[in-house]
Structure 1
Amino acid sequence: MNNPILDGLNETILKAMADMNVPGAQVAIIKDGKVIFSEAFGYANLDEKIPMTREHILPIGSSSKSFTAAAAMILASEGKLNLDAPVRTYMPEFELSDPIASVQATTRDLLCHRTGIPRHDLMWLNWDDLQRRDLAVNRIRHLKNSIPFRSGFQYQNHMYAVVGYLIEKISGKTWEQFVEERIFAPLGMKETSFRIPYPDESGKYARLYTPNEKGVNEENVPLVIDAMGPAGSINTTIDELAKWVAFNLNGGKDAENPLIDEALFKELHKPLIPYQILPFEFPELVSIGYALGWTVDSFRGHKVVDHGGNVSGGSSLISFMSDDHIGCAILTNANGNLFVNAVAMEVYDRYLGYAGQKNWFSAYQEGMNSLLAAMKGQLHAIYDTKIEGKPYSHTLEEYAGEYTNAGYGDIRITVKGDALHMQYHNNSLELKHLHYDIFTFELFVGPNPVSFATGIDGSIASLSIPFEPSVEPILFTRKK
């Protein structure tokens, strides 16, 4: 007998991949504890035309947060961690820029993004040798909050790194060891890792891609995010991820053996704070709240628990309707792509009897296109501010030097030819003069301004960059 969920699904997925520029994908559907669909599509390697298989390993990005939250809940089940006790109970050195948050913030606050600290992502991206302890103990206290503690939702990654470090302090194991021993092993998740090797001699990992301005997919060098691992470093296959979906649909049990106390497990999926991640909405899908490593929504009146992920060159989604005992997982080697969300909505529409009533792939693509256009316009507006004929006030050599910020680390300015060059962690960037002592550089999504400031002695004393737009520009003072 034909399954209405699966009829023609392969063809729908392949067409959507072509329309949404997705090189390769893996899709699994789980119903009543069984995998009813597990397929790979497209290419794992575009240059060599190597087909994507279910054995190719892909990054799950921020979907890793659900594992970190579960790891914390395992410690709570053992009575070693109280999610509502201040973090300082277990980590006296914990400190944030907000003194109230420093004293009162709990593990639950960190896991549901209500500390008041915005993303600050350009602090850690491409900082390959950043250490987790340094991040959790020394760096985060210097990251400014943009709203008061517990006053609202602000999605960010640093607090998950802190929770990972907290797990390490309590368990005596690294976060990676704890997740591997207490979650992966019991669930039989064997094809997993916490870093993508580059170059990959094994051929086990799919190549990762980002389209250029012409829409041509270009290969990404995988990010090294060891310090931020608990927020997004897990890599795996679709068949392994299906076991995680089944585990969550089964109430936190591996078969009949609970890994997490039943009452505490339910806490993982309870919405705690209103949230919004995507800046557009659909009438069929109502955002309810962020839980612990999961978002909770209502889709056509049915509760949906999920979490997406994106790293440079890969997008993922883990999703399930717990009351309906159905879920899915989608992995791709496409950067910043909402194909994964559209697949889940397509699957749920088929299950609920709404097949064909809405093209979720075009709906999500239109939303993404509008978002990207708005972002591009905002980012490139800086060039429109250029004042012609306004030179810089010093010789280029006088700008050269080492600059530092206690949270963001060091910047090195040098002169190369007739231009300034900036080394920021593993980012090597050319500075282009805008006007006066303002220069620009291109990093990730677009241009950023660098503003140099002169001290009372007439020499360059500092530079500032608006790395986090919701707070004042980040100030880097010149080293003596």
Structure 2
Amino acid sequence: MRFRGVSHALSLFGLAFLLSTSVCTQEFPSAVLTLDTDAFVNKILADWNSPGGAAVAVVRKTPQGDWNVETKGYGTATLNGSKITENTRFSIGSNSKLFDILSVGILINNETLSPRLSWTSKIASVIPGWGLMDPVASKQATIIDLMSHRTGMPRHDISFRWSDDLPSIVIPPPPPSLKPSHKPHQVKKLKSLRPSAEFRDGWQYDNMMYMVLAHIPEVLMKMPFARFVKQHIFDPLGMTSTTYSADGANASGELADGFTRQNGTVRVYPYQLTLRGPDGTGGEDGSVLSGPGGVITSAADMATWLQTLLLKGVKPGTNTSVIPAEAIGQVATGITIMSGTAPFPELSPVVYGGGQSRNTYQGHELIEHGGDITGFHSQITRLPFDNLGVAVLTNDNDSGFLFMEIIKYYLIEVALGLEHVDWNSRYKTLISAPAPPPPQLPANASLPQVKLETLTGKYNNDGYGSFELCMMFPSNPNASKACKDLTTRAPTIFPGLFNSNVPTFISDWSTASVRYVSFTHVDENVFELHGVSSYPTGDPAQPYWVESISGSPGGSFAEIVVEGTRALGFGTTGLWGAGNGVSDPQGKTVRERAEAWFDKV
């Protein structure tokens, strides 16, 4: 038995030696961003007819301990034709989440805090007044639960507004006796939003939980979250192009435009409408979206960030630890199952930690995250066993989320000498597949059970807030002043969007996702919902262009409940953004079946 144990130990040692020798003698190409790579990336941008482009960063630690750092830009940065460079700044969307949770990790490592914070600290013990609709989740949810998206909450993305601040989302309002001094927009959010699954039942992506996590530094350190991250991460790492300030990024002259296409015409999303705080500015204090999606950065700074992550929190070129290694390891450890099956043979199932997913590509482990926000997409990936990092940032809203993956895989293949996979053809095939048919509408629709005019007025859900429903078609001579103003401007700000032969309502929700929501009649008391955003063109002949989106592939709907001659409220479906495989709410009444219920007030 002793010999067998020694033999087993020696065999493991020998295997480890062979593996280490193999790694040390691996041939590294002198460069990844070669002329061949330039040709490949430019061809991909042409194949996808991109009006924008991409900035990339590739970092590799050599067997000698040196770093090869390569950064480059491809394509067009702005509508005036300026080119993308390594210093062009992009919004990186949900790749902001890693900065968010690592700021909490820094606090967990802070021995001066009393009581100490830990990954298993219950949110209820950290943020007074915190609560969800589910009492179990309210009491038991920890930092790990929130960061790994297992609270049971769906996205509810159109429930938060630019006028919100973090306390207004996280904490219910004070007792009635204190309400006179309470800001009007500070309504109870999370506690009024319906969960779509049981606590810890599975992975459901939820931006609002990262708003809660961003509130922790504010509660414990008494400073704005965005300034905390700048002080403890951006500045110590010398990431001078990285910020939460839209105003600062714009003033740099390096900010990319976010491009889209509308019927063949290239359009630009106005950036100042994308990330702004409750006061309407895009300053250093950030916005309600800072935690889950507010970072603006460049490929050059992402090269520094990737090296820092691969060095487990140490600033490149120094021995200075900026982020605790334990925190980087914790958030990269799989907790929930993001995808239980692999869509292609080169890939694996995916697990999720905190602002990081973990999977493999051709047998090489990846730790990564994607980011999507209006006009921009990003993918930031590191291969810890290969000491390799790759970042791809793009300003093509329509195709960037696909071709950034094509570019990412190509760069990994070149860096590691892997077999080339034709991801371009694969993704082209995927998007060429027929789209799901739109919901079938009845040929002979019946009007609602009450007069259309009685449906107008104000509605409220404590999680989503209040709004006024205005009737566009047919016109309403008794409309409020606000509704008259909106419907009068409608032909200008919503050019060609609505069919005047179909009863249609519009409401100004002013959410962080969409500005307006339209209600188009389907049958009886059911209306189809679309998020509508209107953007200036700079062309006096057609001053606005408009974008209309549905909340889900199967459509989003509102069913109005009436009693006699009046409307009581309505319930929504297809809007809350639940995880894959999550069942719709069940019940005998509209209120019971609704993802969110709005009372008429």
| 262, 268, 275: which one aligns with 1:224 | 275
Q: Deviations over 1:3-41 (max 9, x none)?
A: 363341111111111223431210110111635321111
Q: Does 1:123 align with 2:159?
A: yes
Contact 1:45 1:206 in 2 (8 A): yes
2:356 corresponds to: 294
The Cα offsets for residues 66-87 of structure 1, whole Å up to 9 and x where unpaired, read as: 1111111111111442111211
Equivalent pairs: percent with the same residue? 25
CA distance in 1, matches of 2:329, 2:445: 63
Deviation at 1:201, TM superposition (A): 6.3
- What is the rounded CA distance, in whole Å, between the counterparts of 1:395 and 1:199 in structure 2? 50
Higher-Rg structure is: 2
Quote how far apart the aligned CAs of 1:430 are.
4.1
The separation in 1 between residues aligned to 2:301 and 2:373, in whole angstroms, is 19
Query: Which among 381, 404, 411 is matched to residue 340 of structure 1?
Result: 404
- Pair 129,368 (structure 1): closer, same or farther in 2 beyond 3 Å: farther
Q: Which residue of 1 aligns with 2:328?
A: 265
Structure 1 residues 182 and 366: alpha-carbon distance in aligned structure 2, compared to 1, 3 A threshold:
farther
Letter of the structure 2 residue corresponding to residue 247 of structure 1: T
Taking a change above 3 Å as real, the CA distance of residues 199 and 104 of structure 1, as seen in their structure-2 partners, is closer
Counterparts in 2 of 1:261-410, with a 5 A limit?
A: 261-276=324-339, 281-335=343-397, 337-355=401-419, 357-368=420-431, 370=433, 373-374=434-435, 377=436, 380-381=438-439, 384-410=440-466
Match of 2:178 in 1: none
Match of 2:549 in 1: 445
- Please list the CA deviations of residues 36-61 of structure 1 after superposition, one character each: whole Å capped at 9, or x if unmatched: 32111111123x22222222211010
Q: Which residue of 1 aligns with 2:77?
A: 44
1:34 & 1:390 partners in 2: Cα distance? Answer: 68
Amino acid of the structure 2 residue aligned with 1:422: S
- Correspondence 1:83 to 2:119: yes
**1:131-150 aligned within 5 A:** 131-137=165-171, 138-150=188-200
Q: Secondary structure at the match of 1:211?
A: strand
Contact 2:314 2:321 in 1 (8 A): yes
Report 1 or 2 for greater relative contact order, CA contacts < 8 Å, sequence distance ≥ 6.
1
Structure 1 residues 296, 462: CA separation in 2 closer, same or farther (over 3 Å shift)? same
Contact 2:445 2:524 in 1 (8 A): no
Query: CA distance change for structure 1 residues 368 and 71 in 2, over 3 Å: closer, same or farther?
Result: farther
Task: Report Cα offsets for 1:362-389 as digits up to 9, x if no partner.
Answer: 324434555xx54xx26x21xx132414
Contact preservation (8 Å) 1:387, 1:435? no
Between the aligned partners of 1:367 and 1:35, the Cα distance in structure 2 is: 35
Whether the 8 Å contact between 1:320 and 1:326 is mirrored in structure 2 is yes
Q: Does 1:414 align with 2:442?
A: no
5 Å matches for 1:171-186? 171-186=221-236
Structure 1 equivalent of residue 32 of structure 2:
5
Q: SS of 1:440's equivalent? A: strand
Tell me which residue corresponds to 2:493: none
Indicate yes or no: 2:296 matched with 1:235: yes
Structure-2 separation of matches of 1:257 and 1:476? 53
Match of 1:256 in 2: 319
- Give the TM-score normalised by structure 2: 0.73
2:342/2:349 contact within 8 Å kept: no
With over 3 angstroms needed to count, the CA separation of the structure-2 counterparts of 1:365 and 1:114, relative to structure 1, is farther
Work out whether residues 397 and 414 of structure 1, in 8 Å CA contact, stay in contact via their aligned partners in 2.
no
**Structure 2 vs 1, CA of residues 365 and 171 (structure 1 numbering), >3 Å: closer, same or farther?**
farther
Secondary structure, aligned partner of 1:274: strand
Deviation larger for 305-314 or 427-436: 427-436
Q: Deviations over 1:247-275 (max 9, x none)?
A: 00111111311123333432122111211
Could you tell me whether the CA contact under 8 Å between 1:120 and 1:468 is conserved in 2?
A: yes
TM-superposed deviation, 1:216 = 4.7
User: Is residue 62–residue 308 contact of structure 1 (8 Å, CA) maintained in 2?
Assistant: yes
Q: What is the correspondence of 1:193-232 to structure 2 with a 5 Å cutoff?
A: 193-197=243-247, 200=250, 203-212=253-262, 214=263, 216-222=265-271, 223-224=274-275, 226-232=287-293
The equivalent of 2:487 in structure 1 is none
Cα distance, 1:111 vs. partner? 0.6
Partners in 1 of 2:70 and 2:47 — Cα distance?
A: 22
Counterpart amino acid of residue 215 in structure 2: Y
Q: TM-score, normalised by structure 1?
A: 0.90
* Aligned twin of 2:581: none
Cα deviation 1:314-354 (Å, max 9, x = unaligned): 00011110111110111110125222222221111122322
Rate the CA distance shift 1:164–1:2 in 2: closer, same or farther, 3 A.
closer
Q: Work out the CA distance in 2 between the residues paired with 1:431 and 1:288.
A: 38
Q: How far is the alpha carbon of 1:217 from its aligned partner? A: 3.7
Amino acid at match of 1:475: W
Q: Shift of residue 438 of structure 1?
A: 2.1
CA RMSD of aligned residues (A): 2.4
1:155 corresponds to: 205
Change in CA separation of 1:114 and 1:244 when aligned onto 2, cut-off 3 Å: same
Cα distance change, pair 410–6 in 1 and its aligned pair in 2 (3 A): same
Alignment gaps of 5+ in structure 1? none
What secondary structure, in the 3-state scheme, does the structure 2 residue paired with 1:460 have?
A: strand
1:109-146 deviation line (CA, Å, top 9, x unaligned)? 1011111111222223xx22122111122211122221
> Which of 112, 119, 123 matches 2:148?
112
Conservation of the 8 A alpha-carbon contact between 2:557 and 2:572: yes
Which residue in the other structure is 2:484 paired with? none
Q: Which runs of 5+ in 2 are unaligned?
A: 1-27, 172-187, 277-286, 475-503, 532-547, 579-584, 586-593
Letter in 2 for 1:329: A
Asked if residue 434 in structure 1 is aligned to residue 522 in structure 2, the reply is yes
Tell me how far apart the structure 2 counterparts of residues 428 and 155 of structure 1 sit (CA, whole Å): 24
Letter in structure 1 aligned against 2:373: V
Structure-1 residue corresponding to 2:134? 98
Tell me, in whole angstroms, the C-alpha distance in 1 between the residues paired with 2:510 and 2:561.
22
How many corresponding residue pairs? 465
Aligned partner of 1:340: which letter?
Answer: M
**For 1:160 and 1:420, how far apart are their aligned partners in 2?**
33
Structure 2 match to 1:64: 96
The residue identity in structure 1 corresponding to 2:125 is: T
Secondary structure of the corresponding residue to residue 241 of structure 1: helix
Q: CA separation in 2, counterparts of 1:245 and 1:71?
A: 17
